[in-house]
Structure 1
Amino acid sequence: MRRWPYTFAVVVSVAIGTTAIVSARILDLPIRDPDGFLGPSYVRLPLIVLLFFAAGIIPTALKRYGIRGFFGGVVRIVDEEWTWKRLSYILVGLSAFYACYVSYRNLKSYLPVVREGVLFDHRMLQLDHFLMFGHNPATVLHNLLGTGAAAHILAFVYVSYLMLIPLTLGAFLVWGRDLSLGAWYATALSLNWVLGTISYYMLPTLGPAFAQPQSFLELPDTSASSLQRALFRAGAGFKEDPTGNQIYGIAGFASLHVSVVLAACLFFARVGLNGIIRWSAWIYLVLVVLATIYFGWHYIADDIAGAAIGWISVSLGAWATGNRGRRRRHVKGNSPAEEIGAIPDEVQPAAAGASETGSRTA
């Protein structure tokens, strides 16, 4: 099954896609394409890939052939280095990720219909107070970090996740010399959506900001609070008319912000990316965890469950793509594109057909 590194990802995407379609038919609800920061996902994700494609080819063509030979150089580079196999892997990875993401967003939207009236926020609030020795964790952070500059910094970190994850996926799919690494990362991210959907239905919650909004009234207006208001309006619109244009997006357990970012951190460490990139990712994770509690997106248990989902996704993705137990040696002195592709030959994955060692990375 693992001779082709995308077998598992395709199976998972078909499974959750079928689940979303069947659920929509049973509930008599539409399947919607969730809009993102730069428009619909089916526009945003291919655009990201095209940008990375250009970033990988244009500088190389200018360096090798200069301005006069630029266009001929681009054609030559594409012909020599961008095989149909490489392009097909990018397409499959992008499609699997997109299918899982759209299915996850729609199944999440059906949550208040399927689990109507079932919420565990009160118990989660009690658990938070128990873990913090009788204190509200959000209030503790407000007092510790303040409600000025910290609020705007954490808001930027939280919202930036919406673009950083697709960007990192595009980087590994397009720039990666070892094609199984792109498959591993795409599979891990896809699993986050699937496992996150399951966690929503297992333990439905709204999150502190929606269950106990009075604890966050002192916070300034930020991009995070704007996003919360938008989600509240969309959620109210969905409950008023589930067949309308609104998509429901409020769910606390588990935190997929934490799960996806932790999955990225673990993956970056396993493949041996540049130390600056790895440490930046871990610092970003810490800030994301703080933001989830600070703004009341999640309870402490949500973040713990999210961390578990992230670890499971990376580990299962490694097994499914033939990368289990692999440790990549960091290669110093490379550009970001070369850093992703510079995997020594002796540590290439053993899965047949998973690697394209003959291509060069721009």
Structure 2
Amino acid sequence: MLEIESEVIWRYIRNAAWRTVSIARSDASLYLFIGIYTATGLGFLAWVGALHRTAYQTYVPIWLMVFGFVLPAVSLLLETGWLLHRFERRRKFAAGKMFSAERMAVLFSGICLLMGIMIFQSTFTSVKNGMSVLWKGFPYDRALADIDAYLHFGTDPWRWLYVIGKHDWVRESVGWNYDMLWFIICYSMLFFIVTSPRTTHLKRRYVLSFMVVWVVVGNILAGLFMSAGPAFYGYVTGDVPRFGEQLSFLAQSRSASSAAVYQQYLWTLQTEGVTGLASGISAFPSVHVALITLNAVYTWEYDQRLGAIAFLYVAFIVASSVYLGWHYAIDGYAAVALTIALCAAVRKLVPDGEILMPGPARQSAAGGSRPEAVVTVS
């Protein structure tokens, strides 16, 4: 009996390991993209003399904790709870479905890919740090602010928002949403798409879109139109009064994680030439807006009603970025348009894969009690 159980366990491990490797091999193009980007980014840092500004040491421990432990544990707990609820009278079946070799292979290969994305995100921040070394300033703020005012009837758009939103509770609510809820939504969706068997058909296209948006919006265009944003406008142009009233109101927040506190943190890193979490200042276009737009695009693909809600949330994030002094409105407008265009381009270039799903014929033949799960990699 023990020999049979041991053989079953080893067969399960071999099957899960083989499937994990197979799925990881199908993600080779994504790993190649990360490798090329990282090599290019390090070459750029060497060229501008900023290799000391790399961010790997900052991101790796945080990313390992969040994506290597916390989110996998939460995901398994939630999915197990859902399956036990759905199959209340067939708990062995629910456990077998949850911990099948196929399910574990998708999860482990997804975590491996997330570790690659950890390197990508670290390189992104490193390149942002190098951009400020290259430019030694932010030459486009005045022009962007003037365009913003022109587009909004001759008035800086934050003034329109403050007509109805200059209240302490609004500031605290908007700040929490912009910093905390945005992060939870964006990175939970990344984790879900990369590690769920329900989204294997979207994974490569989504991750490539994710990385292309970061590179094009946050590195290439941000580097071409180097700007700091309203929070730092006085520092980079000498015109303190233009956004002074707004920044004074934001500074009244008592939250330790307020926009004003974080903006001061970023400016300190900038002036001291020190690397930290999310260091490197750039405003146009807004990566914050771009990333939530990316998720809205994919939500729209899944369900247009949910997608409409997601795009309303995008509009709220655009307004929030202006309200909190992070961005000019044009930063958000450009980010939305660019992200939609980039997602459309990636969709044409990258065909969807196949999804891990129950085999309907097998499930029907077994009366719905033994769904067949298959992993197809291409």
Q: Which residue, 229, 246, 249 being the options, matches 2:261?
A: 229
Please say which structure displays the higher CA radius of gyration: 2
Matches of 1:343 and 1:150 in 2, distance apart? 47
CA-to-partner distance for each residue in 1:37-66, whole Å, 9 max, x for gaps?
Answer: x97123212232332133223432465476
Q: Counterpart of 1:171?
A: 192
| 1:286 to partner: Cα distance | 1.6
- Say yes or no: does 1:257 pair with 2:288: yes
- Counterpart of 2:244, as a letter, is Q
| 1:141 to partner: Cα distance | 0.8
Counterparts of 1:1-362 in structure 2, within 5 Å, are 6-26=27-47, 27=49, 28-33=51-56, 40-46=62-68, 47-61=70-84, 63-64=86-87, 74=95, 77-82=98-103, 84=105, 86-87=106-107, 89-159=109-179, 160-195=181-216, 196-212=218-234, 213-216=243-246, 217-219=248-250, 220-221=252-253, 226-242=258-274, 248-272=279-303, 275=305, 277-323=306-352, 358=374
| 1:303 to partner: Cα distance | 1.1
| 1:247 to partner: Cα distance | 6.4
Matches of 1:52 and 1:321 in 2, distance apart? 28
Contact 1:189 1:263 in 2 (8 A): yes
- Counterpart of 1:199, as a letter, is L
Matches of 1:322 and 1:155 in 2, distance apart? 38
Matches of 2:277 and 2:188 in 1, distance apart? 26
Contact 2:319 2:329 in 1 (8 A): no
| 1:157 to partner: Cα distance | 1.9
Matches of 1:48 and 1:230 in 2, distance apart? 25
Contact 2:358 2:374 in 1 (8 A): no
Contact 2:193 2:199 in 1 (8 A): no
Using the size of structure 1 for normalisation, the TM-score is: 0.77
Contact 1:104 1:194 in 2 (8 A): yes
| 1:282 to partner: Cα distance | 2.2
1:135–1:174 distance in 2 versus 1, CA, 3 Å:
same
1:167–1:198 distance in 2 versus 1, CA, 3 Å:
same
Aligned residues: 325
Matches of 1:342 and 1:215 in 2, distance apart? 56
Contact 2:149 2:156 in 1 (8 A): yes
Matches of 2:339 and 2:256 in 1, distance apart? 23
RMSD: 3.5
Matches of 2:147 and 2:288 in 1, distance apart? 21
Name the stretch that deviates more: 165-174 or 311-320: 311-320
Relative contact order, higher structure (CA 8 A, sep 6+): 1
Larger relative helix fraction: 2
Question: Which 5+ residue runs of structure 2 have no aligned equivalent?
Answer: 1-24, 235-242, 361-371
| 1:298 to partner: Cα distance | 0.9
SS in structure 1 opposite 2:198?
Answer: coil
1:199–1:49 distance in 2 versus 1, CA, 3 Å:
farther
1:199–1:42 distance in 2 versus 1, CA, 3 Å:
farther
Name the stretch that deviates more: 74-83 or 136-145: 74-83
Matches of 1:181 and 1:343 in 2, distance apart? 17
Percent of aligned positions with the same letter in both sequences?
Answer: 16
Contact 1:6 1:187 in 2 (8 A): no
Matches of 1:93 and 1:41 in 2, distance apart? 12
Matches of 1:344 and 1:106 in 2, distance apart? 45
1:301–1:186 distance in 2 versus 1, CA, 3 Å:
same
Contact 1:13 1:99 in 2 (8 A): yes
Contact 1:48 1:170 in 2 (8 A): yes
1:118–1:183 distance in 2 versus 1, CA, 3 Å:
same
Question: Which 5+ residue runs of structure 1 have no aligned equivalent?
Answer: 325-339, 346-355
Matches of 2:177 and 2:359 in 1, distance apart? 34
